[in-house]
Amino acid sequence: MMGQFDYQLIKRELVMKEHQKKQEIADLALFGGEKACREPLYVGRPNIGDKEIFLKRMEDILDRKWLTNDGIYIAEFERQLATKLGVKHCVAMSNGTVALEIASRALGMTGEVIVPSFTFIATPHCLFWQGINPVFCDICPETYTADPASIEKLITPRTTGIIGVHLWGQICNIQQLENIARRHNLRLLFDAAHAFGCSYNGQMIGSFGDAEVFSFHATKFLNSFEGGAIATNNDLLAEKVRLMKNFGFVGVDDVGYAGTNGKMSEPSAAMGITSLESMDEFVETNRKNYLQYNKLLSGVPGIKLLIYNQQETSNYQYIIIEIDSDKTNIDRDDIARVLQAENIFVRRYFYPGCHNQEPYSSYFPYAKHLLPITEEVSKKVLCLPTGTSIGEADITKVCELIAFTVANGKEIGSKISPELPILSHVV
């Protein structure tokens, strides 16, 4: 009818406009063109389970008037976690950082502890806060995880432990690290913040070393708003960390350890249970996204996608590309600048390496000379958006923009000011 809007036609035109490829360099938003995405795409947008079920649990928590201090939802969350991981004990914590602090303290780590520099800053911070010196080891270029040969070279009489980090779902060489720890009588703790739902030789991550620590922060594959957990098969260690997370109380008025407040709240546990119930859906979405990225980026020169081992269980949580600037004719940072201008907020995980951050850069100014692979990889990798908030059309846009940027890399790079900041939007 004349004078009446054809909403379907308008919608189709908007979709077609959003799916238009960049034809010229001037079409890039960085140089004045329209943004490819109307709404920002982020790395780490939270996965949300069934909201109605979660809200019913929240009503129950409020009706019970029991908000923290090991309520029924904490107990249920811990039980389900232990079952999922195949471990005897899983102790929920307020967050992953506190879990690392408590686990390392409960294990009696002192002096020096070897840890990769290529990780989130919380890993060495959990040691430094306790007066322990983090000694940074290099990584393997294939898995981005701690290099056993590098660890061996760093062991001294002051070394009391090793923290291995399972990065982006890539699992440490657990067998070699366990052998090193056994031969040198060292404690072995794993930072498994990225590895919930992943396996090693068919066995779920969670039961290796003396203990493994998980994060359920909002940006993680499985979240409890804020939260973490320590998984272990050691009965005495489990008992100790339970006491330490509650100020060290061993009775109503009796303190037996120098503990802290590491307790998870009931609402967080309720969110964790709700997330567990949707875990298979999260994994399947991540896997589909990964396969689409793999398909669309496979022919782009100089772009190498992190490949997940199909023989193992994975959460497919991260989409990581490694950029060879000799082949792309444009470096990682300029590609990031192009994408962020289009409303695609990629992340430089974990640039520039913990050893280049304070206070470690002041304490260990020559560490970079001992970490050549870390130095190299930190300048190459980029993390792309994925998760349940990302659709096929979004992934297509991201990949088309990367392909276009690489195809015109030299010219685009020459027009970008190196002073242009790279934003670090975190949601």
Architecture of domain 51-277: 3-Layer(aba) Sandwich (3.40)
pLDDT digits (tens, 9 = 90+) for 310-330: 999 999 999 999 999 999 999
Please state the three-class secondary structure of 133-188 as a single string. Answer: EEEEECECCCCCCECHHHHHHHCCCCEEEEEEECECCECCCHHHHHHHHHHHCCEE
The per-residue pLDDT for 56 is 98
With contact defined as beta carbons under 8 Å apart, do 188 and 178 qualify?
yes
User: What is the 8-class DSSP label of residue 260?
Assistant: -
Instruction: Check pLDDT > 60 for residue 10.
Output: no
The per-residue pLDDT for 422 is 79
Domain span(s) for CATH 3.40.640.10 in the chain: 51-277
Domain span(s) for CATH 3.90.1150.10 in the chain: 279-415
Q: What's the average model confidence in pLDDT over 287-293?
A: 98
CATH fourth-level superfamily of 279-415 = Aspartate Aminotransferase, domain 1 (3.90.1150.10)
- From residue 145, alpha-carbon distances to 111, 165, 374 in Å are 23, 6, 10
With contact defined as beta carbons under 8 Å apart, do 98 and 228 qualify?
yes
Distance in angstroms (rounded) separating the CA atoms of residues 394 and 410:
26
Q: What's the average model confidence in pLDDT over 181-197?
A: 98
pLDDT digits (tens, 9 = 90+) for 372-383: 999 999 999 999
- From residue 315, alpha-carbon distances to 122, 201, 291 in Å are 22, 15, 13
Beta strand pairing status for 319-323 and 303-305?
Answer: antiparallel
CA 34 to chain centre: 31
Percent of the chain scoring above 90 in pLDDT: 91
Mean pLDDT of the chain, nearest integer? 94
| Backbone dihedral angles phi then psi of residue 62, each to the nearest 5 degrees | -65, -40
Residue 274, SS3 per DSSP? helix
Tokens of 406: 């690489």
Q: Which of 366, 356, 368, 355 is nearest to 134 (CA)?
A: 355
Lowest-confidence pick of 93-97, 99-103, 363-367, 397-401: 363-367
Torsion, Cα of 94, 100, 105, 109 (10° steps)? 180
Q: Which of 378, 337, 374, 47 is nearest to 216 (CA)?
A: 47
Instruction: Check pLDDT > 70 for residue 9.
Output: no
The per-residue pLDDT for 346 is 97
With contact defined as beta carbons under 8 Å apart, do 189 and 103 qualify?
yes
| Backbone dihedral angles phi then psi of residue 199, each to the nearest 5 degrees | -130, 160
Q: What confidence tier does 14 reach under pLDDT thresholds 50, 70, 90?
A: very low
